[in-house]
Amino acid sequence: MNLFLFRVLKARLLQKIFGKPLEVKKSWEDAPLEFKGMVDFLNWFDATKSISSCINKAALDWRYRFSSHAYFTKLNKKNALEIGFGGGRLMTQSSKDFENVYGVDIHRNFSMTSNFLASQGVNNFSLYHRDDISQIKNNSIDLIYSFIVFQHFDSLEEVDYYLKHIYRLLNKEGIAHIYFGKNKNDGVTVTSEKDFILRDCSLFINPVTMRTKIAKRFVIINFEDNLARDPVKNSGESVQAMIVFTKK
């Protein structure tokens, strides 16, 4: 049994037998420290069985989820920032399009991410802990992107935290392209620690609610409420919705 599966089963057993709740944020902070093998580490963030499959999937996600959008060709490509870089797979792709790529995350195994990026020939990156995002200069970023991350936040306040920094960091012509967990009901649904299952989604926002929130400080360029789970085959239904916006 690999470490990833063991950890998931252990957490669920403790939860079922002892009713031990899981802290959403803490689970994402601490778990990556336990992985020593690169594939296990990458698999924690994005299901994969090999480094090559991880890179191939990243290339498809970058192409279909980001770089194929209309705004991308006209975008200045000096600095990009990923919210929730995880193992670093999407940074292997954004680093090809931008002079500098920055990443912010809450986990505490940045050395493993750095090793992975270096192994893929990426040398134009900088990683920041969530609490250190203020170290990135104001008005310095051309693209802020996030994929399969906002749905793992533990509160709407965390969304507000990042929206505040997105506003601070984007330059005049900068773009934010964010995917988030879609709530088919009205408003916001947050999974309680009692009901949270390790690695599952925990924050779901109705797309209209998200657009209303973002429109207070930003101009919405595009949005999609119904996305394909597999963008290549255009099949299945994603649990995410998407929104693209810029500063007013």
Residue 122: C-alpha distances to residues 26, 97, 103, 107, 209 (Å): 29, 12, 13, 20, 37
Whether the pLDDT of residue 139 is over 80: the answer is yes
Domain limits at 73?
21-247
Spatial distance between the Cα atoms of 75 and 65, rounded to a whole number of angstroms = 15
Q: Which is higher by pLDDT, 21 or 105? A: 105
Taking only the tens place, the pLDDT of each residue in 163-184 is: 999 999 999 999 999 999 999 9
Structure tokens at 231: 């963008």
Residue 5 within any structural domain of the chain = no
Q: 120 in a domain, yes or no?
A: yes
pLDDT beyond 80 at 140: yes
The percent of residues above 90 in pLDDT, for the chain, comes to 84
The answer to which of 3-12, 90-99, 138-147, 175-184 has the lowest mean pLDDT is 3-12
pLDDT at residue 194, rounded to an integer: 82
User: Residue 10 domain-assigned?
Assistant: no
**Is 6 part of any domain?**
no
pLDDT beyond 90 at 21: no
Is 221 part of a structural domain of the chain?
A: yes
Domain assignment present for 116:
yes
Using pLDDT thresholds of 50, 70 and 90, give the confidence band for residue 103.
Answer: very high
pLDDT in tens, 64-97: 999 999 999 999 999 999 999 999 999 999 999 9
For 141-158, give the DSSP string: EEEEEESS-GGG-S-HHH
**Residue 98 included in any domain:** yes
Q: 12-26, 171-185, 233-247: lowest mean pLDDT where?
A: 12-26
Give the CATH number for residue 55.
3.40.50.150
Q: Determine, yes or no, domain membership for 11.
A: no
Q: Do 148 and 179 meet the contact criterion of CB atoms below 8 Å apart?
A: yes
pLDDT of residue 1: 46
Number of domains comprising the chain: 1
